[in-house]
Homo-oligomer: A and B are copies of this chain.
Amino acid sequence: MTASRLRPLRGIVPPMITPLSDLDQLDVDGLERLIEHILSGGVHGLFILGTTGEAPSLSYRLRRELIERTCRQVDGRVPVLVGITDTSLAESRNMAQASADYGADAVVLAPPYYFTIGQPELIEHLDRLLDGLPLPLMLYNMPGLTKATFEPSTVEQLMQRPGVIGIKDSSGDMDYLHQLVALAEERDDWGILVGPEILLPESVMMGATGGVNGGANLQPRLYVDLYEAAVAGDLQRVRQLHRRVLELGKAIYQVGRYGSSIIKGLKCALSLAGICDDVMASPFNAFAEPERQEVQRRLAALNLEPVK
């Protein structure tokens, strides 16, 4: 049953990049290879149409196609979560319905992100969405891009709603994460997934249930291993694997400029590994040749586990 896999969601749930072959066109073969590559690493779920998936930059047509193809390819091996974050309640609902229709397991929502909103407004917005929502919902805290935060007192209220199964926190704020952990002390059905991979081990050691870490697109096994070492409290192995995560990040996240360098670096590395294309959705661009070669040089120096 899906339910037991989602309550709580535990382990590594990679936020999948969206393979594109052109503006508004999916790289269909790359998508299949990428899903198989990620699942081969032993991950515990798959999250599509998040920030790493460039969801807000994609047309709704393409988003639907991606949900359909992903659900068909995964075919129940792990839970599929779909990002339905939007500025419009109606469009969030539309994507949630599509997710249910194609067989996804849950949806994920960050606050509407154009206007500056208050917490009571956020709660009412969520309640409107939850009314009739066809799938379980995971909250997504991403204040750097959405302006609004799910404040701890808001999370405390939303935890009481039947369909809400957990929260993904990409704030990078450990103080906030500690508050989430404290709120869920009595709730063994509530998931707390941490976004920034750099914070994965301490988050798990201090009480989070897993991670939604972009680097797991490329090296899924590394993140699964690190998650398991943290669960076991094996400090030495944690520090050793964490150093590899840091090195991987240096190799592929710091080549370009601007906020998009992480997604660009991931797509570039996946393209170098022959998994999928590195076309970006506007307003972003794939790395040009010099940056691409720089990523290749850095990755070669790392001596990573080979991609199958």
List residues of A whose CB falls within 8 A of some B CB.
23-24, 51, 56-62, 87-91, 111-118, 121-122, 124-125, 128, 144-145, 172-175, 178, 182, 196, 198-199, 201-202, 205-207, 233, 235, 238-239, 242-243, 246, 257-260, 281-285
Contact = CB atoms under 8 A, between A and B. Distances in A.
Number of copies: 4
Contact of A198 (B89, B124, B174, B233): B174
5 contacts: A24-B90, A59-B91, A115-B145, A174-B199, A202-B206
The 8 closest A-B CB pairs, nearest first, are A116-B259, A202-B202, A59-B90, A56-B87, A125-B283, A56-B114, A118-B258, A89-B282
A121 B206 contact: no
B182 A246 contact: yes
Given A90-B24, A121-B260, A205-B205, A115 B174 contact: no
A239 B182 CA distance: 11
Nearest to A178: B198
A249 to B, nearest CB: 10
A233 B260 CA distance: 36
A245 to B, nearest CB: 9
Contacts of A173: 172
A175 B196 contact: yes
Contacts of A60: 88, 91
Contacts of A206: 201-202, 238-239, 242
Given A172-B175, A246-B182, A283 B56 contact: no
A205 B207 contact: no
A125 B57 CA distance: 11
